[in-house]
Amino acid sequence: MFLPKLTRTPLLGFASCLLSLGLLGCSEDLVGSSGDEDAEVGDEAGEVTGDEGDELGDGETGEELPVPGESFPAAGISITTVEANQGSAVLIGEAGEWVSGGARLGALIRDRDTLIRVHYDIDEAWVPREIDARLLVEFSDGTSKTWVQRRMVAAPSTANSLGGTFSFGLVGEAGHVSPGARFKVELHEISEGAGAGASAGVWQTPPEPELLGVQPEPMELKIVFVPFHHLYGSIDRLADTSDANMKIITDLLFERNALTEIIWEVHEPMLWDKEMNNLGSVLGPTTALRDNELALPNVYYHALFPVPGGGVNGVAGIASVAGDGKGDGNLRVSATALGSSVRGAAHTVTHEVGHNAGMAHVYCPFGAAASPDLSYPYQNGVIGQWGFGVISHQLYSPTNTYDYMSYCGPTWVSTWSWAKSFQRVRTLTSWDYEGAARLDFELGPVGYQEQHLLIGSIVTGDDEEFWWTSHGTLPSGADPYGDEYAHHVELRRDGQLVAALPSVVRYTNDYSTAWLISELPPEYARLEGVDAIVRVDDQAEEHLVSRSAVQLSAR
């Protein structure tokens, strides 16, 4: 069922991009909008400039400078903050001191490319001159590595370009970002006496090497993309899942989530031989497919439906908001309308998978999104801290870029979404490593006991229903006997009630589609002896569902 393709943050271009900004094929547009969102970052972000001090090496080959044998602590200049950025800025040093894990805004992921930026200020009497910055990393095996960048310093650092700070690239696949690693940053004069007469500044942060703070857990996202073939009347369209398109989609999904790797595949196309009026209509068939293929609870399925304009009646994407339990596997399904703008679709995929990972909308002033999360910490939905794309090498302004769970643009990942992504990815990945790492495609992860389920997908206002039998458990924390759920399902034979099934109700992110999920007694796992199903809603109104309309699980 699951033949994975592995995409990992590429080394190629990351370290070399930071070693010679723009000289080795890196994008010069290091501050700007993402994807198809053409809005400018804004005047506050400023222009990207190419200072003489942009080069971290000799500017021609991108090689690192040798570590000098002598040390001359820089004077008249002070390190203000040291930032580690794998997607969203995390301060690891401030005012000369180490920032401990508990005081940080986010986690650092092992084996993921990491930008280290050193921000600084200068004295009023500063004399412009070259300064060496040194980044020392000590690894848990007793080895160490030192990076050196020399740049002309004529003014305080500016955060809106990589050339405005001292910047270093730690390469995940080279082992630079590993648990137990310790770091220290120092600023040095390039010759003795160069800073004579200047006051002592904060030339090192922290005073002694301290933990970089890399998390030890594996961080993986497993996802199956399901392209649809729309064949109806004069319509004959197939979602374009070419390698180029999938790279755009998976790169953005990787950059915006706390991951070491994505394991993904493109499924064989599914046929859709009727009108398409509501994108939520594909969620039921996609979920049934997921069950038939014995997908484990931590595998996402994402439908790609071909629509030239990139939307179905104004809807570009749709998803269920899943909890963090193994019983929520059936809810880890979403869909995107794939049109001519693949970059726009990539943004939608990331947003909808965010819903599948339990994230609600983020409020912003220019786009009304249903049920925004009131705990979002930054006003008007901006990301609040500098963002950085570990593949695109772009910086994103904290004040002019919006969280990707909002409806405003341009978008990037905030520290809030990064932290939520980290928690969800860590939980789901852990299921593959429980006990003795036992996995069984019939039983699932350790402790996972499947039940037989009956699920109905009801598109509101459209009288469209899709019913199927599946396997799994009720969503995490759901109590079908509680007061929260007034719906139930009745199984009937010859007009007589044979079983009454309490139902749990779940809605898609836009409330356009409701799911009723009920546990089936083992004797009715395949609806034997049942000729009618009656859905009873919260107004006690009955809705008849033909037994023949229910798609039985192929398992």
pLDDT tens string for the chain (555 positions)?
Answer: 222 333 433 333 455 445 444 322 222 222 333 333 333 222 223 223 333 333 333 322 234 566 666 789 999 999 999 999 999 999 999 999 999 999 999 999 999 999 999 999 999 999 999 999 999 999 999 999 999 999 999 999 999 999 999 999 999 999 999 999 999 999 999 999 998 989 999 999 999 999 999 999 999 999 999 999 999 999 999 999 999 999 999 999 999 999 999 999 999 999 999 999 999 999 999 999 999 998 999 999 999 999 998 899 999 999 989 999 988 999 999 999 999 999 999 999 999 999 999 999 999 998 888 889 999 999 999 999 999 999 999 999 999 999 999 999 999 999 999 999 999 999 999 999 875 344 444 444 545 577 899 988 888 766 678 898 988 888 877 766 666 667 889 999 999 999 999 888 888 877 888 888 899 999 999 999 999 999 998 888 999 998 888 989 887
For residue 106 the two structure tokens come to: 């986010």
Local structure of 240: helix, strand or coil: coil
Query: Can you name the residues that pair with 413 across neighbouring β-strands?
Result: none
Distance CA(86)–CA(549), nearest Å, equals 48
- The letter for the amino acid at 418 is W
Spatial CB neighbours of 43, under 8 Å, sequence gap ≥ 6 = none
Separation CA 21–CA 28 (nearest Å): 7
Establish if 128 belongs to a structural domain. Answer: yes
Beta bridge partners, 508, equal: 320
DSSP one-letter string for 430-460: HGGGSTTT---TTT-STT---EEEEEEEEET
Same domain for 429 and 320? yes
DSSP conformation letters of 5-42: EEEE---TTHHHHHHSTTTTS--S--BS--TT------
Is there a cis peptide before residue 445, judged by omega within 30 degrees of 0?
no
Place of tokens 């995390």: 90
Q: Judge contact between 257 and 421, C-beta under 8 A.
A: yes
Asked if residue 26 belongs to a domain, the reply is yes
So what's the pLDDT on residue 278? 92
Domain boundary, last residue among 211, 241, 266: 211
pLDDT score recorded for residue 443? 46
Predicted local distance difference test score (pLDDT) of residue 332: 96
Residue whose token pair is 């809603």: 537
Could you give the number of structural domains in the chain? 3
Alpha-carbon distance 288 to 118, whole Å? 50
Q: Examine the domain organization and report whether 539 and 416 are in the same domain.
A: no
**Beta carbons within 10 angstroms of residue 155's beta carbon:** 11
Does residue 255 sit in the same domain as residue 360?
yes
Q: Kindly state whether residue 157 falls inside one of the protein's structural domains.
A: yes
Give the end of a domain, one of 188, 211, 234: 211
Does the predicted TM-score (pTM) go above 0.95? no
| Residue 161 and residue 72 in one domain | yes
The residues near 196 (Cβ < 8 Å, ≥ 6 apart) are: 75
CA geometry: angle at 502 spanning 497 and 504, to 5°?
145
Please indicate, yes or no, if residue 96 is contained in any of the structural domains.
yes
- Residues forming a β-bridge with 312: 315
Pair 67, 86 in one domain? yes
Size of the chain in residues: 555
Tell me the three state secondary structure of residue 386.
coil
Q: Please check whether residues 265 and 297 belong to one and the same domain.
A: yes
Q: Is 418 helix (H, G, I), strand (E, B) or coil?
A: helix
Asked if residue 428 and residue 459 are part of one domain, the reply reads no
Q: How far apart are CA 538 and CA 555, in angstroms?
A: 32
Query: Alpha-carbon distance 92 to 114, whole Å?
Result: 12
Q: What is the pLDDT of residue 83?
A: 98
The domain that holds 426 is classified in CATH as: 3.40.390
Rounded CA separation 29/15 (Å): 17
Instruction: Determine, yes or no, domain membership for 528.
Output: yes
Whether residue 78 is contained in a domain is answered as yes
Domain that holds residue 47: 13-211
Whether 228 and 329 map to the same domain: the answer is: yes
CA angle 419, 341, 305 (to 5 degrees): 80
In this structure, the answer to whether residues 189 and 230 fall within a common structural domain is no
Among 211, 236, 257, give the residue marking a domain's end: 211
Q: Encoding tokens for residue 331? A: 């809810």
Q: Are residues 294 and 146 in the same domain?
A: no
Residue 524 resides in a domain: yes
Closest CA to 533 of 456, 460, 474: 456
Task: Specify the pLDDT at position 14.
Answer: 53
Q: For residues 414 and 543, state if they share a domain.
A: no
Q: What is the pLDDT of residue 484?
A: 61
Query: Does 394 map to a domain?
Result: no
* Single-letter amino acid, residue 323: G
Same domain, residue pair 345 and 264: yes
User: Rounded CA gap, 358 and 420, in Å?
Assistant: 8
Q: Which residues make beta-bridge pairs with 63?
A: none
